[in-house]
Amino acid sequence: MNHRLISLIFSLLLVLPPAQSLAASDLQQGVDEITRQIAAAMKNQGTTTIAIVEFADLNGNVNQFGQLLAEKLITALFSHSPGQFNIVERRQLMRVVAEQELSVSGLVDKESIGKIASILGVDALVTGTISPFGNIVEINARCISVETAMVFAAAATTVPITEDVKASMAKSGSFSGMTQQQAPGSSTQATSPSISGSQAEGVFSGASFPQTWEGSYARDSTTKPMILLVEEYSAGFFSGKLFLPEDRNSIATIRGSVVTDFSDFVERSKWRYVDGFPSAAGTWIKFTTESSVQGGLITLKAVYYGLATQSGSMYGAAFHAATASEPWVSFNFGLK
């Protein structure tokens, strides 16, 4: 190899240095280091609006640690560079990923990135991987231009695997459900829980009715008490009432069923808002509420998606009508 070629290679290495993997003493320090590198790169690139994708492992699966990283990066970027970047909310991004039938690991080609960019109006995506090695986990982040689908910056760090990190890496992601979604072109179909019979019926199997669930619903920063009364149940179908204890005029009728088939993709985008979907043990339920206001002139409908556990808790999310894409409220009940 001649000296001119050696000089050329050396010059290129100086111009395009690889991401430095700096060892951090804890997770927060690791997040801060990646934030510093990403912020500097985006500033140089002139990037203003970004979306941060949940980090996946090398097999394309997302766990709670990958989700936590995305959340921490969002917070850290706002703190590090206040007012410099517009960042799309993570759940909004993952909803679009789900609706477009994409996957976290599949966001690498220009067509997929273009779909995200056209809907959310972003300049770049921040994505990455997590790779455990011994007692550390390596975090690699990349900034991808939506215009060219090319990586214009990279950042890396390693953090020690504490008990909390280890636990979060062992849990599948609860809202995005991307471990179930294959990359475009894959022959493997999205999988669903296999539940039937008394296992599916869970808390309803052999129970006495009426059955009372007391709890609350939350919307924005407001939480109010609410009661779910399951009056009748038979062969997977139930009916009853939903009301606010301080306002008996708020009564809404409910009709619902135990759910065992999660193959409908639009429905899955709503189920993903229920913590634990799709693998948590319990009775997966869906029910519709209908109430009349203003003397019956207006009928209000909402659809509730939830999980009832054998320990007697029920939680989930509710949507206005069947077409709403964002939750109206979250709810949490306890069996009385």
Each domain of the chain, given as residue ranges in start order, spans: 14-171, 198-335
Helix axes 90-99, 64-80, angle to 10 degrees: 130
Determine if the peptide bond prior to 160 is cis (ω within 30°).
Answer: no
Neighbours of 260 (CB within 10 A): 17
Residue 213 has pLDDT above 90, yes or no: yes
pLDDT at 178: 33
Neighbours of 11 (CB within 10 A): 10
CA-only gyration radius of the chain, Å: 24
Taking a C-beta distance cutoff of 8 angstroms, is the pair 39, 126 a contact? no
Q: 98-136 pLDDT, tens per residue?
A: 666 665 555 556 777 777 777 788 888 888 889 988 899
Chain centre to alpha carbon of residue 123:
22
Which range is least confidently modeled, 119-123, 167-171, 289-293?
289-293
Which of the four pLDDT bands, split at 50, 70 and 90, describes residue 214?
Answer: very high
Q: 225-252 pLDDT, tens per residue?
A: 999 999 998 888 899 999 888 776 678 8
Identify the architecture of domain 198-335 in CATH. Answer: Beta Barrel (2.40)
Which of the four pLDDT bands, split at 50, 70 and 90, describes residue 333?
Answer: very high
The mean pLDDT of the chain is 75
**Which tokens go with 271?**
């189920």
In the chain the beta strands, taken as DSSP E runs, fall at 21-23, 49-52, 86-88, 124-133, 136-145, 151-160, 211-219, 222-234, 237-244, 247-258, 283-293, 298-308, 313-320, 329-335
Q: Which of 181-185, 301-305, 322-326 has the highest mean pLDDT?
A: 301-305
Identify the architecture of domain 14-171 in CATH. Answer: 3-Layer(aba) Sandwich (3.40)
Percentage of residues of the chain with pLDDT beyond 90? 10
pLDDT at 231: 92
pLDDT at 304: 92
Q: Which of 20, 94, 113, 17 is nearest to 56 (CA)?
A: 94
Amino acid at 50: I
pLDDT at 106: 53
Residue 274's alpha-carbon distances to 22, 53, 316, 333, in angstroms, are 36, 20, 5, 14
Q: How many Å apart are CA 70 and CA 76, to the nearest integer?
A: 10
Residue 318 has pLDDT above 60, yes or no: yes
**14-171 and 198-335 agree in CATH topology:** no
Mean pLDDT over 41-67 rounds to 83
0.85 exceeded by the pTM?
no
**Buried/exposed 261-278: b ≥16 CB within 10 Å, e otherwise:** ebeeeebbbbbbbbebbb
**Higher pLDDT, residue 175 or 293:** 293
Strand order in the sheet with 151-160: 21-23, 151-160, 136-145, 124-133, 49-52, 86-88
pLDDT at 228: 92
